[in-house]
Amino acid sequence: MNRDDVQTKYHLSNQLLSDYESWRVKQVDGQVAPSTYTVEDIEKLRLMFDLQQIGFSSQEIEDFLSLKLQQQVPPVKLIALLTQRRRERLTTIHHFEQQIASIDYLKFQLMENH
């Protein structure tokens, strides 16, 4: 499958495909990789998309993929990265919950005093 086919079929952004192609070139010692995408490439692109959706930066995605290629058993470092991201997201959620509670309290006070 070529780049256009992959982009159309999987709805991937140009930036994600460019990031993948750049990472792929680094993995083959700077040599230009073939312009066709294998099933393995598609799996990596899907992982990149998922990581992007949960807030990983391009560099973090590259680091994650590089670690994944080392195929640690068990993948301790990968799990640690995901656990950290989850913890960060929960902290953000809790912060917003506190803000919502404050908004609700202020609304209650306004209704009581009016």
Give DSSP secondary structure letters for 54-110: TT--HHHHHHHHHHHHT--SS-HHHHHHHHHHHHHHHHHHHHHHHHHHHHHHHHHHH
Express as a percent the part of the chain with pLDDT over 70.
92
pLDDT in tens, 70-97: 876 678 889 999 999 999 999 999 999 9
Mean pLDDT of the chain: 89
Q: What is the pLDDT of residue 73?
A: 63
